[in-house]
Amino acid sequence: GTEGGGEVFCDKEIVRMDKAKRKAIIAGNWKMNKTASEAAVLVDELIPAVKDASCEVVICTPFTDLVTAVEKTKGTNIHVGAENVHFEKSGAFTGEISADMLVDLGVEYVIVGHSERRQYFAETDQTVNKRTLAALNAGLKVILCVGEVLSERKDGITSQIVCAQTEIALGGVSADELKNIIIAYEPVWAIGTGETATPEQANEVCAVIRSLIERLYGKDAADAIVVQYGGSMNDKNAAELLAQPDVDGGLIGGASLVAEKFTAIVNAASAK
């Protein structure tokens, strides 16, 4: 059931936390879209549209758009993130970008462990952990992505997979550093497929993640951590998903590329 406590996941009974203690965060993941000049146009549209948001607003853009995004958003309520980061400080890693490079640009957030990175670019739970630590050490805020593939959901092992991914990614992360982590639950089968987890399914797994954080870091940390849902959240289904007690925002793909749609999601989160 989805009501009350009593479900047991990750060897821990789920206890409902107080959502009022957390600020919703809506983050756009632009993926490999928008040239710098196109980014300038989109950011100009977004600035007035989201200026009154009560939720945190983040846009995570391709590396080539970051300078434009940071410059344009100065003095606004829009925060800028990158879509990935390398785990070494510098060195012979052709084509890679370090955390210090991002910080120096004025970037505040970074997505780590997105399923597309895992699927196409050989990311593992271990490299996700290394990237998370590198980002935190440089002072970045991390949007840490976890989620199961369709076969794992069908096999009934969603909570085991998601808990394992989360626990490994957080290896060596202190309770203090955890304050700079947002966890994004993204069921891989619902990313870019048009499929969406039902609000109840999304909430159930976000609650599993929160109960794991309680087990690892205690109740205060679990109360405080922001757990986003990502996986085809859009302007049509956002309000219903965000109404769930353990869904604290969204990591938005396609809808983040259209100012009107992204703004609708921000408004849905601000209404909470």
Catalytic machinery residues: 114, 186
What is each CA distance from 199 to 58, 98, 238, 242, 246, in whole angstroms? 22, 36, 9, 8, 10
State the Cα–Cα distance between residues 6 and 4, nearest whole angstrom. 7
State the Cα–Cα distance between residues 255 and 264, nearest whole angstrom. 10
Contact at 8 Å (CB) between 188 and 150? yes
Closest CA to 79 of 48, 104, 47, 35: 47
Using CB atoms within 10 A of its CB, is residue 239 exposed (0-12), middle (13-18) or buried (19+)? Answer: middle
How many angstroms separate the most distant Cα atoms in the chain? 52
What is each CA distance from 42 to 36, 48, 136, in whole angstroms? 10, 11, 29
